[in-house]
Amino acid sequence: MDETTSASHEISPKRANAEPRTIEIVDTTFRDGQQSPLLFDTEKYRFSLEEKKLLLEGLIELGVTHFEFFSPVVGAAEEQDVQELIAHAQTLTHKPLLFLAHCRCNPTDIQKALEVGCNGLNLYLGVSPLAQQHNAQKSLEESVQLAQEVIGSTRQAHPDLYIRFSAEDAFRTVPDDMLRLYDAVYPYVNTFGMPDTVGLAEPEDVTATVSLLRQRYPQARLECHFHNDRGLALANVMAAVRAGVRYVDASIWGLAERSGIPSVTGVLFNLSKRYPEIAQRYNLSQCYPLNVLMASILGTLVPYTEPVSLTNRTHTAGVHQKAVLGEKKVYEAHHLHDFGVDKNQLLLGPLSGWNLIYYYLKEVENFVINKEQAKQIAQEFKGRTAEIGRHKKPEELLLEIATSHGLLRHTLPEEVPTARLENLD
């Protein structure tokens, strides 16, 4: 490795490991996000430009500044959208923004990306045994030569351009092969990635890889991109950041190829527990609105696995509902309010006990009712829960029973019931 060739790019010698700790989201909703099978399941296939603009606005409101796009060579529509989105983003904030084109190590791809206005490149090339045989179909030495030539000449032509380079499928790549490749391009890059392309890494593997890269490439920043095939992507992000990674790839809802990557809001929610300074950089109250925006675009609910969701503040079991009515902290451990989830829900259903039934009939339906009556009604309700289903909601059954018990309602001004519902929070 020739240290003297270190180009005049953003990272000055010995800076990356010494610079103060900053953790940044690299949003890839417009790239890996559009590779999600959910876009096919919802028959959307791709986001329209208008939808992308809304999502971009939501991300910028949240404080995201790094956006990854497809290389323009994937198609005319994407090429046009990238240009429009870059122009639109600049009307939304004065913060410096990074528009990253996800490109192969191919001079034409790179050229096109720069022509449409991208000011950064997320370059990748795989040298795992599988990639050498079936994907890039190049030997290690051929790949090393290609990467060195392409990245070296790009750096020479664009001394200030942000360049990230990743060995695709890093966790199935022979470590010495990855280092051979990274050594060759180290003088030219700002950042190295470590994509877990097929989601097989465990947090301990991540810690080891980050430590290896930090030690060998002290001038480079590090980025992580973890797929969720084993459901470990978020845990791997936590390990990576603890070990010193700066950039975390994420997308809204974690949309990405197959079972996706970590969600932007899940990452911010989790990282902010350990690194509270994240709240200064990101406007965390915009997390839930962003998840809801995606729900409205896809026409489905925010996924129940999403930490920043109303589902995470919804209680169904009688024991939980009773406790939450008294002290919500018993079953709500996280300050989701800070992330924009500003209410909770107790769902009346087959598992509800007399406490919620009493609360519901008294506070929501305004019945004149005492606790003894509520217990009797609850007993009958529990005996008839088999009736609940698509054609009879739990509320309907309960009202039927309450009315048959001859309960009468208070007469109250119309706005009071909804106001009382809010008191739950």
Span from 43-51, 192-200, 331-339, 415-423 in contact with ligand HCA (CB under 6 A): 192-200
CB of 114 to ligand HCA, least distance (A): 18
36 contacts ligand HCA (rule: CB under 6 A): no
Span from 39-47, 191-199, 325-333, 405-413 in contact with ligand HCA (CB under 6 A): 191-199
168 contacts ligand HCA (rule: CB under 6 A): yes
Rounded Cα–Cα distance for residues 214 and 208 (Å)? 10
Span from 110-118, 193-201, 325-333, 344-352 in contact with ligand HCA (CB under 6 A): 193-201
Rounded Cα–Cα distance for residues 224 and 246 (Å)? 8
Q: Are 9 and 187 in contact (CB under 8 A)?
A: no
3-state secondary structure of 384: coil
Q: Are 287 and 265 in contact (CB under 8 A)?
A: yes
Structure tokens at 121: 């490149």
- The torsion angles phi and psi of 251, rounded to 5 degrees, stand at -145, 165
Q: Are 266 and 14 in contact (CB under 8 A)?
A: no
166 contacts ligand HCA (rule: CB under 6 A): yes
Rounded Cα–Cα distance for residues 38 and 41 (Å)? 5
3-state secondary structure of 222: strand
Q: Which is nearer to ligand HCA, 122 or 373 (CB)?
A: 122
Q: Which is nearer to ligand HCA, 126 or 353 (CB)?
A: 126
* Binding-site member from 79, 81, 109, 257 for ligand HCA (CB under 6 A): 257
Q: Which is nearer to ligand HCA, 124 or 359 (CB)?
A: 124
Query: What contacts 24+ positions apart, CB below 8 Å, involve 10-14?
Result: 10/160, 10/162, 10/190, 11/190, 11/219, 11/220, 11/221, 12/219, 13/219, 14/218, 14/219
Span from 190-198, 287-295, 375-383, 390-398 in contact with ligand HCA (CB under 6 A): 190-198
Chain centroid to Cα 331, Å, comes to 24
Span from 189-197, 209-217, 364-372, 386-394 in contact with ligand HCA (CB under 6 A): 189-197
309 contacts ligand HCA (rule: CB under 6 A): no
CB of 256 to ligand HCA, least distance (A): 7
195 contacts ligand HCA (rule: CB under 6 A): yes
177 contacts ligand HCA (rule: CB under 6 A): no
32 contacts ligand HCA (rule: CB under 6 A): yes
Q: Of residues 106-125, which lie at the interface with ligand HCA (CB under 6 A)?
A: 122, 124
* Binding-site member from 9, 214, 225, 313 for ligand HCA (CB under 6 A): 225
Enumerate residues 6+ apart whose C-beta is below 8 A from 96.
Answer: 65
3-state secondary structure of 255: coil
71 contacts ligand HCA (rule: CB under 6 A): no
Q: Which is nearer to ligand HCA, 35 or 106 (CB)?
A: 35
Q: Which is nearer to ligand HCA, 122 or 286 (CB)?
A: 122
3-state secondary structure of 36: coil
Amino acid at 175: P
Q: Which residues would be at the binding site for ligand HCA (CB under 6 A)?
A: 32, 35, 102, 122, 124, 166, 168, 193, 195, 197, 225, 227, 257
